[in-house]
Amino acid sequence: MSQIFKQSANAWSKASIFALVFTLLALGWAVMVLQRSDFVTSANQFIAQPVQFSHQHHVGGIGIDCRYCHTSVEVAASAGIPPTKTCINCHSQIWSDSPYLEPVRASFRNDTPLEWVRVHDLPDFVYFNHSIHVAKGVGCETCHGQVDKMPLMLQKASLQMEWCLECHRNPEQFVRPRSEVFTMGYQPASSQAEIGPALVKEYNIAGSSNLTNCSVCHR
């Protein structure tokens, strides 16, 4: 009986075992990486807005406090998007004829709100509340990144659940004094390992078994 396969078939069949294992591992790895990539989470991507509003200029350059525009951040679930009137407070006086700001003036003239494109879009089954985070010493920067360095607003964090749980499981690694919540580029006065647990105690931040209860975020 003649041979069906050439001798090289032995080498190929052995190689195919490794190739199979390697391919499966590589596929698994690719899925792990891909599902956390900016492509999936849409993090770190500039999003076109009706007006090219620069936080870098207004926060970093001029030094306007977050709450000047996001007025409800300390008392409500939503931080609040300012009405056009807030812009006009200054821009009736400065840059009042800049072509860049024509949409703002048009909005004010016609009494139609500017339609900003939402950058941080959580799924509808997540009940996020800004006020409790601010009240317990979570800095704006902790989630939103250094806004004072952003010429256009972008999402800094993945907003995936594992990212939320990073802090809900270990709040002491992230809290800061309430006085520093709105600071950009905050550095802890002493090591976070010291002040973190002290702040958690002082602000009565619930233990991780409470903070990771499903219904804290999903109701």
Partner 1 sequence: MAQQGHMQAGSTAVLDEPVLGPGQNYETITESVAQIPLSSRTPLGWVFGFLIGLGGLMMLQMAIGWLLLRGVGIWGNNVPVGWAFDIINFVWWIGIGHAGTLISAILLLFKQQWRMSISRFAEAMTIFAVACAALFPLLHTGRPWLAAYWLFPYPNTMGLWPQFRSPLIWDVFAVSTYATVSVVFWIVGLIPDLATMRDRAVSKVKKHVFGVLALGWRGSARHWHRYEVATLILAGLSTPLVLSVHTVVSFDFAVSVLPGWHATIFPPYFVAGAIYSGFAMVLTLAIPIRAAYGLEHLITMKHIDNMAKVMLATALIVGYGYVMEAFFAWYSAAPYERYMMFNRMTGPYGWTYWLLIFVNIGLVQLLWLRSVRYNTKLLFVLSLIFNVGMWLERFVIIVTSLHRDFLPSSWDMYYPTRWDFMMFFGTIGLFLTLFFLFIRFVPMIAMFEVRTLLPEAKVHVDHGPTGGH
Out of 23, 35, 129, 210, point to the residue binding partner 1 (CB under 8 A).
35
Which stretch in 28-36, 53-61, 80-88, 127-135 sits in contact with partner 1 by CB under 8 A? Answer: 28-36
Q: Which residue has the tokens 């931040």?
A: 205
Return the number of the residue (135 or 165) whose C-beta is nearest partner 1: 165
Out of 10, 92, 98, 210, point to the residue binding partner 1 (CB under 8 A).
10
CB of 159 to partner 1, least distance (A): 10
Helical residues (DSSP H) of the chain, grouped into ranges: 8-34, 38-41, 55, 66-69, 84-91, 102-110, 130-135, 140-144, 161-169, 192-202, 208-211, 214-217
Query: Is residue 62 near partner 1 by the rule CB under 8 A?
Result: no
φ, ψ of residue 37 in degrees (nearest 5): -75, 160
CA distance 18 to 7: 19
Please give the residues from 141 up to 160 whose contact with partner 1 meets the rule CB under 8 A. 158, 160
CA distance 122 to 201: 29
CB of 67 to partner 1, least distance (A): 31
153 near 55, Cβ under 8 Å? yes
CB of 32 to partner 1, least distance (A): 7
Q: Which amino acid is at 129?
A: N
CB of 165 to partner 1, least distance (A): 4
Please give the residues from 73 up to 132 whose contact with partner 1 meets the rule CB under 8 A. none
60 near 149, Cβ under 8 Å? yes
Q: DSSP readout, 4-56?
A: SS-THHHHHHHHHHHHHHHHHHHHHHHHHHHTTSHHHH-TT-----SS---HI
CB of 27 to partner 1, least distance (A): 13
Q: Which amino acid is at 108?
A: F
Which stretch in 3-11, 117-125, 186-194, 203-211 sits in contact with partner 1 by CB under 8 A? Answer: 3-11
Count of residues that interact with partner 1, criterion CB under 8 A: 15
Binding mask 161-200 vs partner 1 (x if CB under 8 A, - otherwise)? Answer: xx--xx----------------------------------
Return the number of the residue (19 or 75) whose C-beta is nearest partner 1: 19
Residues in contact with partner 1 by the rule CB under 8 A:
1, 4-5, 9-10, 13, 32, 35-36, 158, 160-162, 165-166
